[in-house]
Amino acid sequence: MKPIRYIEPMARRNLTTVTEFILVGFTDHPELMIPLFLVFLSFYLITLLGNVGLIILIQVDAQLHTPMYFFLSHLALLDACYASVITPQILATLATGKTVISYGRCAAQFFFFTICAGTECYLLAVMAYDRFVAISNPLRYNMAMTPGTCRGLLAGVYICGVSGAILRTTCTFTLFFCDDNQINFFFCDLPPLLKLACSSMTQSEIAILFFAKLMFLANVMIILVSYILIIRAILRVKSPGGRAKTFSTCTSHLTTVVLFFGTLAFMYQRSNSDKSPEEDKIVSVFYTVVIPMLNPLIYSLRNKDVKAAFKKITGKLQFPRAVALGEGSSS
């Protein structure tokens, strides 16, 4: 950790104003530019297809108009936005070799990325609470999780996500950046931006790190307590088959939680001495590109309701085609 340096007002005025940043995340491997472009492009298309398809499926199938799928549709929306904030920048860099991003674009990317990431943290916590209510008292589930309650919880999720993003973006981009404007990363994320700050620890940086850790730990605690209560409720089920069936409704959510919060913890909760730029790049690719692609697959492949709705929709699409072909052959 570099020593703390306090910048006098006169020294601050003498600093060179940073108007752009240089993203050097992939430029040290020029031979991989084309293969990486194709990989990221395929990931992005799968992400959009999977998440948008899941949203449409939930909207058109009445059987999926429940609180769990209401929250799931917004998780899919966040994942699609999440990937759209980051991946196009990666693709443009890989395709053109242009690594310069303006100060304003960097701030905007950081803001929208932080909205998506923060809101998803809160949403996963609310989804854990929803599973707790459904399992602990299934007979009163519909009374507890009314449409108004769900909309209120969702509004709280977005308000917390946007408020946190405004706070972190304001604190981050009011820092004094030194002459070095090279970000050893592939998008404008918090750790590489803080490394460019002219002092090791300012009040803004303390506020950023404090609220980031507070948000992370608060949501982890909500999820942890919810699953402790869920396990207690499942243990009261007498038949082993009933326990397995009850817990199966949580496996998709639990998988998403472990992947998302595990990578965030590895990225943001470690000390600076334990970090390496290459490890950070790999981990950040995983939670910004890979996890948004995997989430619709996780919820689709292990979910009977989603698979049944998909078969129903595809069956309806095939039926008119079969009728049309039959009419054509009879004529």
**What are 40-78's pLDDT values in tens digits?**
999 999 999 999 999 999 998 888 899 999 999 999 999
> Contact, 15 vs 5, CB < 8 A?
no
State the average pLDDT over residues 75-104.
89
Kind and range of the H or E element at 259?
A: helix 240-268
Q: pLDDT exceeding 90 applies to what percent of the chain?
A: 35
| Three-state secondary structure call for residue 113 | helix
Cα dihedral sign, 264-265-266-271: positive
pTM: 0.85
Domain locations in the chain as residue ranges? 16-330
Residue 181 tokens read as 């404007």
Q: Which CATH class is domain 16-330?
A: mainly alpha
CA angle (119 as vertex; 116, 125 as ends), nearest 5: 140
Mean pLDDT, the chain, whole residue set: 82
Model confidence at 190, pLDDT cuts 50, 70, 90, reads: confident
Residue 43 tokens read as 């990931």
Residue 33 tokens read as 């530019």
3-state helix, strand, coil in the chain (%, to 5): 80, 5, 20
Q: Which residue has the higher pLDDT, 77 or 207?
A: 77
Segment of 29-43, 110-124, 180-194, 205-219 carrying the highest mean pLDDT: 110-124
